[in-house]
Amino acid sequence: MCHFTNSNKKKLRKTLAFILLFAFLSQGQIAYCSPLSKEALEVTRNIIASPTNQNADEFIKIMLKEYKRENRAKNYDDALDYLRSALYFLRLNPKTEAYNETYSNYNKLIQKTGLDTSQSNRLEVAKNLYLEQKYFASAYEFSKLLDEKYNTDICLEYLGDVAGKIGSVDVAISYYKKAYETNPNNISAEYKYAMCLLADNKKTNAIFYLEDVIEKTNSKEIINEIINTFNQRIQRNPDDENNYGILGLAYQKLGQYDKTYKFLKRSLIINPKDIFLRYYLGNLLFNINEYSFADEIYSEILDENPYESQIRISRAKTYAALNDENKAIKDYQVVLAMYPDSIQAQYGIYTLLKNKMPLEKIVNLFYPIEPDFKLNSEGYNNLGYLANQMGKSSDARVFFEKSLSINPKSETPYIELYKIYQLEGSDAKAREIIQKAYKLFPKNTEIKQLYGAISSDKTDEKNNLALSYINEGDFKKAIAAYNQIEPKDASTYEAIANCYRQLGDIKNAILNYQKGIELNPDNSDAYYMLGVAFVEANDFKKAKDAFNKSIQKDPKNVKSKQMLNFLDQKEIGKSLDVAYDFYDKKDYKTALSYLNKASNTFPNDAKVYYYRAMTKDALMDYQGAISDYKLAIKLDRNYVDAYYRLAEDLERTNRQKEALFMYEKYLGAENLDPELAKKAEQRVIELGERYY
């Protein structure tokens, strides 16, 4: 961060403290926020360090004071954020007069600024506030949406993020756990939950969830983060086999099988009896088509642990790959003898025989000691769900059609078949099945919605289908549904892009946002979403271009303005960091050159002029420093220290009467640095004797 002399480090740290407060929690990223008063800074520190009722009351009081200041200055966006921060704590006692008054002011300001109050837009605003590191303000908006049960798992996940940023690990764990339990397809929440458990030394549970995350995720970013984390853990604890095991699985997910083998072998050297490590090694051999060696590994484990059903299923798949159908079926049957409800084993037998015999005969082979066994409707539904989950929609269709033939009064197969027919492009069959369903179950909410869709055009029908998948957290199928819409309009491409963002595929998200913009180049919000995607891809230059275009299309687009400010502050911070490095080495001329460039790039940022003035002071260019201090004050009157520095330079240039006025201005501000205030008071006394 930027501090320019040893004597001034303390004061400058206070000036930027709200930024500094969270920067270390965000890997050095600088938050944008209007400069807080020292009083506001202090209560913010206190509430984070010790969230007591007394500190909360003081925090609320100061946030409301800051709101009034920003509101008077017509800085309505910042005023709203202070209200949100206060309401985050006030909402705990919603029946109080303070809450009612603050909430009323919040609503009035929302109306005054004309902000879109739809749930979807409020969710974007909340995400925006989080990106800007205005954590209490964002938490308020996420909490409100959570109360309304809107995108519950996403709100819970972000609240977990906020809790983590302010150091409340236990609270973060609780939120992530709820987010994952609400939507088990939310891999991001499960990953964060696992990493929090790991940080909290709950290693066994963390490893369990991380293994699941690695298996399910398609995000290379998550896999690479896991690899970086566990490489560091190996450095600290080279004897923990779990570290090598997780690394092996992660590299296997990336297809880097040489590294997978290396780490799994290392893990097995430490703990040769760990059956799951051996199982992972067997899976590796299977993945590289070394089926005979995989069979040896699986068989060795099963000789010692014959009841491990998952390992037996893996061996059955190996036998199938070796074209030994009889051995594969036998292994699946052994699993079913031990665990009769194993859908994986049932489906395994079906996949081996589906092209060789009728479905009923295949089912008869599930349990050899019961040759007349028949699967009921629910059993076929379960097989259908598994096949669908594995992307085998044609198999799923067979199972749901069979379920329906057994029990025509079951709602499930109608709904699932409608979706499958739609994804396969069989619109006529989809219409027919949902019409039958509606006649039988006119009160079923989902069937009612799907039936309503078929009375509209095909685009609405596909949109509704995609939305149903989104509600289930199945974004891949939602994308498949959207892709069937032809011709696609801008909103369809935007919806596809949003789904890709949920999957962590930012590259495809950006591509689809751009396609939408090509069709509707005047959509300000589309540029905003594109900008956010570029931020997530860490391409800040393109993000700024997108936000600027968004503002060109709609000068009132507050979200884009906020994000642009946020990115500007990040760049300003980097420029000031470079300048400080040279200043610290007493290379003032080079520091000044960087600050000159910063002033050209950011001509309306008070910090740049304040620090440039201090650099000019070091070069004894007092006249230049005076001009910059005046610019800093003009742009932001909250830079109270600038009044003091300006007064000092005015004295140096024999302008004592002006200096006296500036010392008085400085002393008229609140929460002054005691040391500077004492000096200013002394100068006012001495200069006052001369001029009054």
| Full 3-state SS string of 86-111 | HHHHHCCCCCCHHHHHHHHHHHHHHH
Quick one: pLDDT at residue 9? Answer: 32
Quick one: pLDDT at residue 34? Answer: 44
Quick one: pLDDT at residue 46? Answer: 76
Quick one: pLDDT at residue 522? Answer: 92
Quick one: pLDDT at residue 309? Answer: 93
Rounded to an integer, what distance in angstroms lies between the CA atom of residue 421 and that of residue 431?
9
* Residue in the structure block whose two tokens are 């290392």: 266
Which residues of the chain are modeled with pLDDT < 50?
A: 1-35
Give the tens place of pLDDT for each residue, 365-378: 999 888 788 899 99
Rounded to an integer, what distance in angstroms lies between the CA atom of residue 387 and that of residue 400?
10
Rg, Å, the chain Cα set: 32
| Rounded alpha-carbon distances, angstroms, from residue 565 to 76, 444, 562, 580, 633 | 15, 48, 5, 22, 19
The candidate with the shortest Cα–Cα distance to 517, out of 508, 506, 507, 526, is 526
Task: State the amino acid at position 294 in one-letter form.
Answer: A
3-state secondary structure of 443: coil
Domains (ranges, CATH) in the chain? Answer: 478-556 (1.25.40.10), 565-691 (1.25.40.10)
Quick one: pLDDT at residue 40? Answer: 67
**Structure tokens that stand for 544 in this block:** 């700024």
- pTM, 2 dp: 0.64
**Structure tokens that stand for 673 in this block:** 């640095």
Which segments within 309-446 are labelled E, that is strand? none
Quick one: pLDDT at residue 671? Answer: 66
CB 285 within 8 A of CB 296: no
